[in-house]
Structure 1
């Protein structure tokens, strides 16, 4: 599918346990609740929303960015429950050939293989449906969970960006990448 055609309607994806879907106004409270946890935002680079109304406005920005073909933000919801427990984002597309990957998850769900499962669906979508050649992720060196996750999935650590602007922080930042030709999930 050509890159431009991937943005005609929001791509709903499924894993064994989860539905990856567009965020809705009724998700604002769950989003606000887990993003209010400092442990969740510690490595995110931005503070969480100040209130539920701000969370809802964030969803509008996500939807507008999707319309402009700049970002896809999936809410992660269990197939058993509709409540979101995290998000996964592809953004900063470069000529339809490269994209940044970011993700977050409610602390209540850490250590259960959820993000591994979700990314094993998002990565092939990026390579095959969006025809992306390079997916990259930027991670603070102290974020050992993300470093381990990306390494386990086959991302290659390319280097360290010193005093890099990471959201609202200036911090050293690791950059990881996966190329379509190197991805076993692209097939």
Structure 2
């Protein structure tokens, strides 16, 4: 396995998006979608503090967190990354997209790029994602991307596992 941190933060480019490191200038765009330990940011200061913790987790080899940037504007429209499980060759993939960018294929593309990176670059043997039963958009996305439901969890959550057909 090749775990973070990397000599150069991995930037992954497709036709429509760029997965890249979040910069301080990006924080204002992600306040409403910033979370750390299931706690949402309420202010730019909260989001900055959370990003500092996320960056420290990356430096400690515990996670990797990308901003999803629109390739045309470089504006951060969402985030995703692997947040737990590296010690067991597992990556728990989490994602969030700003509401005004949902339903346009950005997250589908971002998740494809992230799963490929997890398998091919990190060397993960298992990728999971957890969502709530009420989040129909997330469950449809996961199923469309070859994730299969493997468990019902507490608090109305569902665990999915990626099935690699590569």
1:153 matched to which residue of 2?
Answer: 145
Query: Which segments of 5 or more consecutive residues in structure 1 lack a partner in the other structure?
Result: 165-170
1:175 matched to which residue of 2?
Answer: 159
Query: Which segments of 5 or more consecutive residues in structure 2 lack a partner in the other structure?
Result: none
Report matched runs for 1:103-182 at 5 Å.
Answer: 103-161=95-153, 164=154, 171-178=155-162, 182=163
Deviations along 1:118-149, whole A, 9 cap, x unmatched?
A: 11111010001000010000110000000000
* Aligned residue pair count: 166
Runs of 4+ residues deviating >4 angstroms: none
Report matched runs for 1:10-159 at 5 Å.
Answer: 10-32=9-31, 34-35=32-33, 46-95=38-87, 97-159=89-151
The answer as to whether partners of 1:19 and 1:79 remain within 8 angstroms in 2 is yes
The answer as to whether partners of 1:160 and 1:172 remain within 8 angstroms in 2 is yes
- CA apart distance, 1:17: 0.6
Q: Give the RMSD, CA atoms, in angstroms.
A: 2.0
- CA apart distance, 1:61: 1.0
- CA apart distance, 1:93: 2.5
1:8 to 1:35, Cα distance in 2 relative to 1, 3 A: same
1:113 to 1:135, Cα distance in 2 relative to 1, 3 A: same
In the superposition, the TM-score normalised over structure 1's length comes to: 0.82
The answer as to whether partners of 1:7 and 1:66 remain within 8 angstroms in 2 is no
In the superposition, the TM-score normalised over structure 2's length comes to: 0.92
When Rg is computed on C-alpha atoms for both structures, the one with the higher figure is 1
